[in-house]
Amino acid sequence: MFSRLRGLMVKKGPEFLALPISFTPFPVKKVVLQQLLNWQFRHALSEGELDFLEGRFLGIEIADVNLRWITTLQNGRLTVSRDAEADVWFRGEANDLLLVAARKADPDMLFFQRRLVIEGDTELGLEVKNLMDAIELDAMPTPLRTGLQQLAAFIEAGMKQDAKAAKARAGISC
């Protein structure tokens, strides 16, 4: 039962999140995203590693969960909006982005497979990608790192289960 649920969550998991995220008012999403981003990047912010975002706008879109926002640096803090025009967009699906964040998937591989899309200001996109690559998992707040690693393990297990099922179906002949 658990393995079937895991497979369903990997395939349909983001769809389950899409509905509640769609109905959540943007001001609520904004508060949550700003708190999460500033918590995660607190060291990078204090070291000035995100200063390149001052006056520049990074768009993030996770289409399968209907989540889209634009972030920039203002007064030493990351802020979130939905109305600004992004200089660069990062687009992907929830499972892929979670695996990248947990260091379980290579963003370059996903980019070449067209599962991660970067559009707009290429230089800014590379600065963001390089910053993301430089972040060590151990530097993440423990609750965030633990939750991320557990979600990534769940997704990976479901993907392996799906691959086994597809292989078994391919071996069945009529």
The string of pLDDT tens digits covering residues 59-85 is 999 988 889 999 999 999 999 999 889
Mean pLDDT of 32-46: 92
Distances (CA, A) of 137 to 97, 101, 145: 15, 9, 7
Closest to 127 (Cα-Cα) out of 61, 56, 70, 76: 56
Burial class (CB in 10 A: 0-12, 13-18, 19+), 100: buried
In percent, the amount of the chain with pLDDT more than 90 equals: 41
Better pLDDT: 16 or 164: 164
Q: How far apart are CA 110 and CA 115, in angstroms?
A: 5
Whether 148 contacts 139, CB under 8 Å? no
pTM > 0.95: no
Mean pLDDT of 135-164: 81
Number of neighbours of residue 28 by Cβ within 10 angstroms: 9
